[in-house]
């Protein structure tokens, strides 16, 4: 396999024709340039026999197209992003493109470097899951050389197309679910505060509360990143507030993990002592003790839609119309939410 694919030159020499002729015969331009059917046939046969395929580097150099897309992700080892990566690579294969993967390790600095490196390599398009808050470095992408699609997080002020979950709706559904079970003091374990995902989820949470006429209490919101440790610390803090929240809403899968740990350490039982809902579904949710009610994001859809949007732009040579795509979420009800007893509601409403 692939012991140095032959070149146009080699094929041309074998057949006693010019590289021009070979190139045109193989690229389907034969007719336009009046290469005889006989010659074209001979070229194609030999090319097939030698398993010729044009050198992508040379091609890219000449054409300024590399049949390559960039994918920048904060952390491939996060199942949510991994799933997106999976879908993107599969879509890329379908479009005969390769994927250059970069892991920004949740650092804006590395995200900038990665964008730079991929653009240098002349990717034909870029799918980016931005790490967070800063967007100055994204500004130049708007009128940049290649189409860009933002996934998971978006920047309202930036005219870049994006594909995100319905974070507002998902959070509202989760919160409503808790409200319907009688919960009124619902603690929120948030992620990185300035990100669009976090903001949207908080918005959904507040909107649900407002819908029921429940006042939001800023002291019920804790946490500062989407990492497990932040979830752990935030949960510990909220569990110590009095009166204690009767339910926690974790705004991310790792945060939920931290919350589970904190709740276990506090000697509390789910859902007897406290209810829990988490953003992001995962395969183990069913087998936790108890199974955890989650807001499932359709990561597959995010990846697929982003890739679809990107490739349609790549094909159409069109740039970044700032279209926004929102993918619905789904509330997966399991056993981690329990109705609040009347007594405890009244106890809560007094202070």
Partner DNA sequence: ATGGCAGGCACAAACGATTGTGCAAGCCTG
Partner DNA sequence: CAGGCTTGCACAATCGTTTGTGCCTGCCAT
DSSP annotation of 137: G
For position 288 contacting a copy of itself by CB under 8 A, the verdict is: yes
CB nearer to DNA: pick between 19 and 133: 19
For position 71 contacting a copy of itself by CB under 8 A, the verdict is: yes
For position 107 contacting a copy of itself by CB under 8 A, the verdict is: no
Distance of CA 35 to the CA centre of its chain: 48
DSSP 219-269: GGEE-SSSSHHHHHHHHHHHHHSSSPPSEEEESSHHHHHHHHHHHHHTT--
Give the one entry of DNA, a copy of itself, none that residue 16 binds, where binding means its C-beta sits below a cut-off of 5 to 8 angstroms depending on kind.
DNA
Give the one entry of DNA, a copy of itself, none that residue 36 binds, where binding means its C-beta sits below a cut-off of 5 to 8 angstroms depending on kind.
DNA
Out of 44, 233, 282, 334, the residue judged to bind a copy of itself by CB under 8 A: 282
Give the one entry of a copy of itself, DNA, none that residue 75 binds, where binding means its C-beta sits below a cut-off of 5 to 8 angstroms depending on kind.
a copy of itself
d(CA 83, CA 75) in angstroms, rounded, equals: 11
Give the one entry of a copy of itself, DNA, none that residue 259 binds, where binding means its C-beta sits below a cut-off of 5 to 8 angstroms depending on kind.
none
What three-state secondary structure class fits 278?
strand
Write out the binding residues for DNA, residues 23-52 only, by CB under 7 A. Answer: 23-24, 26-27, 29, 33-36, 38-39, 52
For position 76 contacting a copy of itself by CB under 8 A, the verdict is: yes
Give the one entry of a copy of itself, DNA, none that residue 13 binds, where binding means its C-beta sits below a cut-off of 5 to 8 angstroms depending on kind.
none
Question: Closest approach of Cβ 211 to a copy of itself, in Å?
Answer: 32
Question: Closest approach of Cβ 141 to DNA, in Å?
Answer: 20
d(CA 33, CA 9) in angstroms, rounded, equals: 19
Out of 1, 2, 3, 16, the residue judged to bind DNA by CB under 7 A: 16
Specify whether the CB–CB gap between 281 and 333 falls below 8 A: no
For position 17 contacting DNA by CB under 7 A, the verdict is: yes
Burial 257-280 (b: 16+ CB within 10 A, else e): bbbbbbbeeeeeebbeebbbbbbb
String of contacts with a copy of itself for each residue 199-228, x by CB under 8 A: -----------------------------x
H helix or E strand, kind and range, residue 68:
strand 68-73
Specify whether the CB–CB gap between 98 and 124 falls below 8 A: no
């Amino acid at each position: 396999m692939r012991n140095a694919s032959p070149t146009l030159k080699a094929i041309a020499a074998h057949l006693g024709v010019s590289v021009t002729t070979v190139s045109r015969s193989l690229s389907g331009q034969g007719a336009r340039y009046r290469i005889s059917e006989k010659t074209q046939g001979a070229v194609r046969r030999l090319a097939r026999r030698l398993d010729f395929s044009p050198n992508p580097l040379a091609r890219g150099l000449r054409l300024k197209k590399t049949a390559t897309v960039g994918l920048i992700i904060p952390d491939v080892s996060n199942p949510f992003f991994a799933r997106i990566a999976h879908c993107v690579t599969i879509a890329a294969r379908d479009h005969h493109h390769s994927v250059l993967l970069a892991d920004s390790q949740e650092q804006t600095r590395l995200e900038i470097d990665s964008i730079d490196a991929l653009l240098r390599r002349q990717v034909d398009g870029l799918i980016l899951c931005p790490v967070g808050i800063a967007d100055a470095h994204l500004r130049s992408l708007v009128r940049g050389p290649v189409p860009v699609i933002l996934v998971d997080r978006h920047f309202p002020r930036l005219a870049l197309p994006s594909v995100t979950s319905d974070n507002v709706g998902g959070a509202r559904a989760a919160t409503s679910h808790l409200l319907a079970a009688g919960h009124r003091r619902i603690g929120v374990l948030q992620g990185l505060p300035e990100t669009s995902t976090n903001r949207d989820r908080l918005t959904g949470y507040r909107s649900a509360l407002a819908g029921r006429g429940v006042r939001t209490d800023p002291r019920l919101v804790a946490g500062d990143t989407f990492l497990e440790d932040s979830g752990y610390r935030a949960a510990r803090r909220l569990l110590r507030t009095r009166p204690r929240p009767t339910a926690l809403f974790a705004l991310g899968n790792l945060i939920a993990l931290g919350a589970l740990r904190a709740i276990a350490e506090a000697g509390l039982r789910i859902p007897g002592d406290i209810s829990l809902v988490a953003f992001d579904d995962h395969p183990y949710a069913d087998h936790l003790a108890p199974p955890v009610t989650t807001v499932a994001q359709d990561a597959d859809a995010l990846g697929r839609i982003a890739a679809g949007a990107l490739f349609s732009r790549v094909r159409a040579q069109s740039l970044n119309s700032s279209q926004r795509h929102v993918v619905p979420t789904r509330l997966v009800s399991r056993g981690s939410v329990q109705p609040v007893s009347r007594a405890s509601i009244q106890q809560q409403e007094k202070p």
